[in-house]
Amino acid sequence: MAGVLAVDVGGTFTDLVHWDGATIRTGKVPSTPADQSAGVMSGAAAQPPATRLIHGTTVATNALLERRGAVTALVTSAGFPDLIEIGRQHRPSLYDSFADRPVPLVPRHLRFEAPDDPAGWVPSPALGAVAAVAVALLYGYANPDGEQAVATALRRAFPAMAVSLSSEVAPEFREFERTATTVLNAYLGPECARYLDRLATRCHEEGLADDVLVMRSSGGLIPITEATRLPAAILLSGPAGGVAAAAALGAVAGRSRLVSFDMGGTSTDVCRIDGGRPEVSYEREIDGFRCRMPSVAIHTVGAGGGSIAWCDEGGALRVGPHSAGAEPGPAAYGGGGQEPTVTDANVVLGRIPAGTRLAGTVGLRPDLAATALATLGGRLGMDAATTARGVGRVIEEVMASAIRKVSLEEGADPRAATLVAFGGAGGLHATALARSLDMAGVLVPLHAGVFSALGLLVSPPRVDVAQSRRMVDGAEVDALAAEVAGRAAARLRGDAGVPPASVEVRLDVRYLGQSHEVSVPYRPGQGWAALADRFHALHAERNGFARPDDPIEVVTTRAEAVGVAAVDFGSLPVPAPDGDAAVGKRSVIADTGPVEVNVVRRNGLAPGDEVVGPAVIEEREATTYLGAGERATVNDAGALEVEW
């Protein structure tokens, strides 16, 4: 089998996993924020040759957060140029009168109105000053002809202009969300195109791979050309890989109810997985901007290894959301960082040993970590060790609130779920976090430090298609479901060049006249009664009530066509033990004070082996900490199953 290389770019490190059909090789290098492709190529140079590159990137997210998108114009129907500013009139913070919505991505002077019949429309010369245009006419989702006419006029007048049409980006009803998503796509388009073109060129010139796929937010892969056309679809590109891998691990381990917990250097991402399927959201808000594109329902908090600890005006210890990032990084990195971080706390506590070289290159300076924490502790009236314990407790509560967000607030009980912990820092906090929520246990996979990159390998090619139409008739639903499913399958064959392994249809259903919908799985031919029963049950689960005697309506039909992943998770080999597992003992500062813990090499463990806490389990890209009374058993997939 030709080599496949998966690369996931994070805020602090870039993770790599190479698979040649027999052997997994992993790597980790510091990220290069100015040009992510530099880090990608640096890491790839240390890996064997590959004919395919699978990429998870934060380039779209960073461009939005840093407002580095293109100068963008909006063409909309007469009377609607201010729609993106009016929005839904929801306040960003109910009790904070000073909280404002973000400034619209399109200023007022760059919003233009098209006539009802745009066939003869002549674009304003002012459009020559912009790099991208979003076109969102009032009924574009139902009749795309008007938007196509506007696009033709724009391309005739400005051939180099990037044009995004709502009928292609998000062909769904609700004009504000559709328009906002189209604007987002146009705004991100040129920046993402430059990066992806540069990456493809460098891959070709350096002989890495001509076949480049990009992870989309919904948990599947799209060709790099499609990612260039739909940058709004890759806003959660990197984190989605970890969720896919967590779901695959759960299937192998026989755990169907999971919460994925990805703690990296900059943030923590959590997502609920029920019945082996990650929760998918069809609309989300990113930095205050609506995006109506399917994405795994990840909740992100600024809680990573690089999250900075600080003292607020009331004298309370706070952690995050600001991060030391890759440059200068935590104080322990010796790169000039002065402020204490979660990583510094774990170094002072002894959970991360002094001799560790992160990513193989970043040596740790415990003295600098202790100095940074002592400085903060001086303002709090605590020594460095006590401050470090406090940092750990605060960050764990921040992460616990994130898990409550995707479980309790969605009507799911976290006590029935297993926490799948990965990312460079995930195993350090997983058991304390799971125990605080009374969860069923913890799974720490093999290659936990690069697990999101591994998730790219086990993710299939995917196409998502949606069409809005209000329906109250089963025959009409079946007809549209079959049509949309056919479109999704055809696009997968055309865009990705692969046949669909499966096509799943989901319907957005609501009570007649209700404002919001529930996504219900459906197979054409199941019938209106079966659809209604399933909707009532899901509505009760999500909202706490159902009204079985009330009529329902379908408003949007969706289809997900997926191909076959490059790698079957269940076929990945578990490395044979390499040397002794026991390393020795060392002192770690626990909640009760200093304790002697067993130090264990992960590479020395075999399926069936057991490690009893307190213990530290070390591997090249990650560390797992077990407290007193906790027990980890290596399962057949090589993952640590932790119980207490």
Instruction: Give per-residue pLDDT as tens, 35-94.
Output: 899 999 999 999 999 999 999 998 898 889 889 999 999 999 999 999 999 988 777 777
The contacts of residue 122 (CB under 8 Å, 6+ apart) are 153, 157
Q: Tally DSSP H helices, then E strands, for the chain.
A: 15, 35
Same domain as 159, residue 92: yes
For residue 217, is pLDDT > 90? yes
Q: Smallest Cα–Cα separation from 32: which of 55, 9, 16?
A: 9
In this predicted model, what pLDDT tens digit does every residue of 289-306 receive, in sequence order?
A: 999 999 999 998 888 899
Question: Which of 271, 300, 292, 295 is CA-nearest to residue 281?
Answer: 295
Given a contact cutoff of 8 angstroms between Cβ atoms, the answer to whether 315 and 253 are in contact is no
For 97-110, the pLDDT digits (tens) are: 888 888 999 999 99
- pLDDT of residue 196 exceeding 90, the answer is yes
**Could you tell me if residue 513 is inside a domain?**
yes
The residue to which tokens 């069923």 are assigned = 440
Interval 506-528 mean pLDDT: 94
User: In this structure, what token pair is assigned to residue 527?
Assistant: 């019938």
Confidence of residue 474 (pLDDT cuts 50, 70, 90): very high
- Cα angle at 595 between 589 and 596, to 5 degrees? 120
Mean pLDDT of 388-398: 96
The arithmetic mean of pLDDT across residues 358-384, rounded, is 88
Cβ-Cβ contacts under 8 Å for 381 (sequence gap 6 or more) = none
Note whether residue 325 is domain-resident.
Answer: yes
Give the per-residue pLDDT at 30.
86
Say which CATH number the domain at 492 has: 3.30.1490
The domain boundary residue, chosen from 564, 594, 616? 564
Q: Is the per-residue pLDDT at 534 higher than 60? A: yes
State the total domains in the chain. 4
Q: Does residue 357 lie within any of the structural domains? A: yes
Same domain? For 474 and 508 the reply is: yes
CB 74 within 8 A of CB 81: yes
Please tell me the distance from the alpha carbon of residue 621 to that of residue 577, in angstroms, as a whole number: 17
Residues 369, 349 contacting (CB under 8 angstroms): no
- In terms of domains, do 49 and 130 share one? no
* pLDDT attached to residue 359: 56
- Domain boundary among the residues 184, 214, 248 is at 184
Whether 179 shows a pLDDT value over 90: the answer reads yes
pLDDT digits 0-9 by tens, 248-274 = 999 999 999 999 999 988 889 999 999
Phi-psi region of 566 (alpha: psi -120 to 50; beta: other; left: phi over 0): alpha
Question: Quick one: 320 and 380 in the same domain?
Answer: yes
Beta bridge partners of 19: 4, 24
**471 and 537 belong to one structural domain:** yes
Per-residue pLDDT of 445-458, as tens digits, reads 999 999 999 999 99
Amino acid 358: pLDDT: 65
Co-location of 73 and 154 in the same domain: yes
The model's confidence at residue 439, banded by pLDDT at 50, 70 and 90, is very high
At 150-167, the pLDDT tens digits run: 999 999 999 999 999 999
* Same domain assignment for residues 58 and 122: no
* Model pTM above 0.85: yes
- pLDDT recorded at residue 595: 94
Q: What is the average pLDDT value for the chain, to the nearest integer?
A: 92
Query: Is 70 exceeded by the pLDDT of residue 360?
Result: no
d(CA 148, CA 143): 10
Q: 93: buried, middle or exposed (CB in 10 Å: 19+, 13-18, 0-12)?
A: exposed
What amino acid occupies position 467? Q
Confidence check: pLDDT of 497 > 90 = no
DSSP character at residue 343: H
pLDDT band of 357, cuts 50, 70, 90: low
Could you tell me the residue range of the domain that residue 178 belongs to? Answer: 69-184
- Examine the domain organization and report whether 174 and 93 are in the same domain: yes
Instruction: Answer whether residue 536 shows pLDDT above 90.
Output: yes
Rounded-to-integer distance, Cα 507 and Cα 401, Å:
30
**What's the token pair of residue 2?**
């030709």
Q: Quote the percentage of the chain above a pLDDT of 70.
A: 98
Q: Residue 502 in 3-state DSSP?
A: strand
**Rounded mean pLDDT, 214-239:** 93
The structure tokens listed for 433 are 């976090």
Please state which of the ranges 1-5, 408-412, 458-462 shows the lowest mean pLDDT. Answer: 1-5
Q: What are the CB-based long-range contacts (under 8 Å, 24+) for 592-599? A: 595/628, 599/353
Residue 43 lies in a domain: yes
* Domain edge (last residue) among 535, 564, 593: 564
d(CA 127, CA 153): 12
Is residue 505 a part of any domain in this protein? yes
Has residue 361 got a pLDDT over 80? no
Residue 202 pLDDT class (50, 70, 90 cuts): very high
- Whether residue 34 is contained in a domain is answered as yes
Instruction: For residue 402, tell me if it sits in a domain.
Output: no
For residue 250, the model assigns a pLDDT of 95
